[in-house]
Amino acid sequence: MLISQREYARRKRWSSPYVNRLVKQGKIPNEGGKIDPELADAALVANRAPLKAIPEPGAKAQPMPVSYIQARTVTETYKAKKGKLLYERLTGKLVSLEDVKRALEQSNAIIRAKLLSIPTKLAPRLAGKHTAVELKAILQTEIYEVLRELAATAGNVE
């Protein structure tokens, strides 16, 4: 039974202009401006876009478009992290890697020099000693003295 486009729209609870547009687009067949509801419903089901397939596990995912809000969030997060790093650097909580490397090299040079000076400093005192106990005591005392000096100057490396 054929009905008007307006009646078909009322039955489907759609607007008349929407049904008219579907007819003009050829998605709903008509005969002289009248619609067969059963044929129209079947045509709409046939013309409906297929659902997107669910990707197989392990398939390469398509990148999602980034919304303005997501992009803005990323930008603001970056600015906040950059500001935090700048603040920590200015307050002395954060130092550059180059400064740390330079201080470590200076510290190692001081330690090396102190350790290498032990034999020269002790040679005259060890010359007359013959027992292992005497040698050990002198060496141990000097090593502890060098370690105390290093500990006292540990924070003074520029």
Give Cβ neighbours of residue 114 (< 8 Å, ≥ 6 apart). Answer: 146, 149, 150
pTM of the model: 0.42
Residues in Cβ contact with 95 at an 8 Å cutoff, skipping those fewer than 6 apart: 89
Q: Which amino acid is at 37?
A: P
Contacts of 121 (CB under 8 A, 6+ apart): 142
Q: Is the pLDDT reported for residue 16 higher than 70?
A: yes
What tens digit of pLDDT does each residue of 135-157 get? 899 889 999 998 898 888 876 65
Count CA atoms within 13 Å of residue 79 on its CB side: 6
| C-alpha–C-alpha distance, residues 134 and 126, integer Å | 9
pLDDT tens column, 108-132: 998 899 888 888 888 888 888 888 8
The whole-angstrom separation of Cα 154 and Cα 126 is 29
Structural domain boundaries in the chain: 3-47, 97-156
Give the per-residue pLDDT at 68: 87
pLDDT in tens, 26-53: 899 998 889 999 999 999 888 876 666 6
Q: Please tell me whether residue 84 adopts helix, strand or coil conformation.
A: helix
Q: What is the mean pLDDT of residues 82-96?
A: 92
